[in-house]
A = this chain, B = another copy of it.
């Protein structure tokens, strides 16, 4: 049994992480730690886990963690910057779910996060935890840094088309996100009476997921990303609509062929494009709770525009599920272990 520690247990990502790891056949949840909620029962923070896992939260105990094989860090940004190096030093493998180790170029932290990164050396060795692209690096990584959810949905939709040279100019990403994406912190902007019945363009430019999408695609081919992020009145799920003007003549059957070629063996990618019915394109509603990323596409011939539609659950494939998938790779488990559960429908 792999011994797992989780740091930052009170947030939504941690809740989902625990839910998934409890379904995992080869994992022992050895330490679940929260600084602010130490001593509380898990189910007081994650009411879904009542009677499923009876556990009293511990503090950030590095000593105890040092007996674990791997740590997931889903804490505050500041804690991550402190915990990750400390855990690595103690010999643990680490999967960080904050953005603190995603970007290779320290300058991006200054520009997008407003601080000078204290561990540029660790940035270098962190592996960007997107299994569909970086599986072999993840396998041998000490530190995996999990992507942001908009990044995951966008990169997975774009990667085969960038690789094949179909997409080669600036890509517009128009994302629509549920409220769980802003976490469990309370603020006036997140209260129900403000957020329900709303469509809020919360970040029409300069979104922080931009540099990581560009960074990962640049490993294939430099691609400019123009991202605008919206919040919509759902709790869970993300839909990214990608608009790309293309030079090459391309047909629907070419896109089918390319996506199938790249993703035929991927367990968590579904190509969704039907001629009729109401499930013609990806919709987060159809995958809540599961680790799928659904990808669809359409060609707008009058504008030589490609429309890619990518949906995922921001807390699963967009965070906790993807992290478990990375862990499975790192320890040689079946990549889908713990991630089999399908989505209840309709939600």
Chain A interface residues toward B at CB < 8 A: 12, 15-16, 19, 22-23, 43-44, 46-52, 170, 172, 174, 176, 178-180, 182, 184, 186-201, 204-206, 224, 226, 228, 230, 232-237, 239, 241, 243, 245, 270, 272, 274, 277-279, 281-290, 292, 294, 296, 298-300, 302-303, 305, 307, 309, 311, 313, 315-316, 340-347
Contacts and interface: CB of A to CB of B under 8 A. Distances in A.
Given A12-B346, A191-B192, A226-B300, 14 more contacts: A48-B342, A48-B344, A172-B243, A174-B243, A178-B193, A179-B192, A192-B192, A192-B196, A197-B236, A200-B281, A200-B283, A204-B307, A226-B302, A289-B344
Contacts of A170: 245, 303, 305
A44 B274 contact: yes
Most buried by B among A239, A279, A299, A316: A279
A193 B272 CA distance: 21
Contact of A180 (B245, B281, B346): B346
Contacts of A50: 270, 272, 286, 294
Nearest to A15: B345
Contacts of A344: 16, 19, 48, 236, 288-289, 313, 315-316, 344
A331 B310 CA distance: 42
Given A16-B344, A230-B239, A199 B279 contact: no
A300 B206 contact: yes
A235 to B, nearest CB: 5
Contacts of A270: 50-51
Contacts of A315: 344
Given A241-B204, A241-B230, A270-B51, A197 B343 contact: no
Nearest to A51: B270
Contacts of A204: 241, 281, 298, 300, 307, 309
B201 A285 contact: no
Contacts of A195: 191-192
A235 B197 contact: yes
Given A205-B298, A298-B205, A228 B191 contact: no
A279 B44 contact: yes
Nearest to A178: B193
A48 B281 contact: no
A281 B305 CA distance: 27
7 contacts: A176-B230, A180-B193, A184-B191, A184-B194, A194-B346, A197-B237, A197-B346
Contact of A288 (B46, B290, B300, B347): B347
Contacts of A243: 172, 174, 226, 228, 243
B205 A346 contact: no
A187 B186 contact: yes
A272 B47 CA distance: 10
A107 to B, nearest CB: 14
CB-CB nearest 7 A-B residue pairs:
A289-B344, A48-B345, A47-B286, A192-B195, A179-B192, A199-B239, A198-B285
A102 B53 CA distance: 35
A260 to B, nearest CB: 13
B192 A235 contact: yes
Contacts of A305: 170, 172, 205, 226
